[in-house]
Structure 1
């Protein structure tokens, strides 16, 4: 097995791995059960007082 063939298989494996990881991340973000969690996280910057406590 030459370096070129091995590099080709590693490139294909990496592409499949990262495509699968990206797909799982999108599914997780769009899963209906997680909607309330993400809505709460989106409101965090707007809540509370950002002034330092003296």
Structure 2
């Protein structure tokens, strides 16, 4: 089997696309997972908490 440049480019594009789609789905699923809601809510308001402010 002779691997030409075009064949390697096709394989890289095809499996690269599949890899990125699966990775994107995994990231969105992680971010939207119900058990993670409290963690992300706490992180989004952490900068607004009173104990994080400089002492006056």
TM over 0.5: yes
**RMSD across aligned positions (CA):** 1.2
Q: CA deviation at 1:45?
A: 1.2
Gaps of 5+ in 2: none
Query: Which consecutive segments of 4 or more residues in structure 1 shift more than 2 A?
Result: none
- Aligned residue pairs, count: 51
Q: In the TM superposition, what is the alpha-carbon distance from 1:27 to its structure 2 partner?
A: 0.4
Q: Cα deviation per residue 1:6-49 (whole Å; 9 max; x = unaligned)?
A: 11111111110011000000000000000000000001111121
